[in-house]
Amino acid sequence: MNTVLETIKKIAFEIDEAIKTEDLGYSESENSSGEDQLKLDVQSDLIIEKAFASAEAVKNLVSEEKEGVLELNSDGKYTICYDPLDGSSLVDVNLSVGSIFGIYEGELKGENLVSSAYVVYGPRIELVIATKDKKPALYRAVDGIFKFIEDISMNEKGKLNAPGGTQQNWSLNHKIFIDTLFTEGYRLRYSGGMVPDLHQIMLKGGGLFSYPGTTDKPDGKLRQLFEVIPFAFIYEQAGGQAVDHKGKRLMELVPSHPHDTSPCFFGSNYEIEAMKKAYGTKD
């Protein structure tokens, strides 16, 4: 596992350099979800593929930007599902973006995730790594190396609210729930980048990030293997919760296709229990 995590640190510096120096235009190609790919999406994907090619512990790579599974080492132990540059459409307006890594052992499903990590490319490069039985650890890039900063713990209740999805396509129930949080004094914090939005809520003690099912996207937008499950693991390790619209743990997801999406709610305990009550899924 150490080789994998050290490789992620190397990748972070390379992608950060590409963000700062490379062409921000669109490439000729689309990803497997039919979205136009930025040249940076393709380049970040290549950086990750090259970096893991020599990591013997890595059996397969599965990218959000590509269809199918890339086998690297048949004797490898882990399959890494990754989103090379999450929120990439924000780069040309100079907002923070990120990379997300889910490290699975065996069948690709929530219960088989053994570790996850994400990188935030913002004013500084920050990295969060979560492994079993430990609080997620925050690292910051200082003089070309990642320095340990702190273990992350969430409070019982927060103040921040990041509501995703096109509001006109929200269910009435969801609209009432989100409005209730604002009437309770929650502050709006939504950049359109999942990584910086979830990073902020976790580091500032708590709150709620939501990307529900909507009339235009009944299964939500965010991908289970590359985005949702890796963050669900980190939020649970930090003492928060991560559930779907039925109040079911996102760590119990079993995708039938690598690019399956899911409605998702990430937050501290108070907000997730309030969501379950609002959605009528509270035990």
Binding mask 166-195 for ligand FBP (x = CB under 6 A): --------------------------xxx-
Residue 221 binds ligand FBP (CB under 6 A): yes
Contacts of 74 (CB under 8 A, 6+ apart): 59
Of 72-80, 81-89, 152-160, 273-281: span binding ligand FBP (CB under 6 A): 81-89
Residue 65 makes contact with ligand FBP by CB under 6 A: no
Residue among 101, 89, 84 at smallest CA distance from 231: 101
Number of residues that bind ligand FBP (CB under 6 A): 10
CA distances from 75 to 20, 48, 105 (A): 36, 20, 12
Q: In whole angstroms, what is the distance from residue 194 CA to residue 243 CA?
A: 16
In whole angstroms, how close is the CB of 45 to ligand FBP at the nearest point? Answer: 11
Interacting residue with ligand FBP among 12, 66, 79, 87 (CB under 6 A): 87
Residue nearest to ligand FBP (CB): 194
Q: How far apart are CA 225 and CA 83, in angstroms?
A: 9
What DSSP assignment string belongs to 228-244? IHHHHHHHHHTT-EEE-
Closer CB to ligand FBP, 79 or 99, in the complex? 99
Give bridge partners of residue 264 from the DSSP assignment: 211
CA distance 237 to 262: 20
Nearest CB to ligand FBP, comparing residues 97 and 275: 97
Q: Given the complex with ligand FBP, which of 1 and 203 has the nearer CB atom?
A: 203
Kindly state whether residue 263 participates in binding ligand FBP, applying the rule CB under 6 A. Answer: no
CA torsion sign for 15, 95, 186, 168 is: negative
123 Cβ contact partners less than 8 Å away, ≥ 6 residues apart: 96
Q: Which is nearer to ligand FBP, 57 or 82 (CB)?
A: 82
- Least distance to ligand FBP, CB of residue 24, Å: 14
Q: Does 102 bind ligand FBP (CB under 6 A)?
A: no
User: Between 59 and 271, whose beta carbon lies closer to ligand FBP?
Assistant: 271
Gyration radius (Cα) of the chain, Å? 18
Among 4, 9, 83, 255, binds ligand FBP (CB under 6 A): 83
Interacting residues with ligand FBP (CB under 6 A): 64, 83, 86-88, 164, 192-194, 221
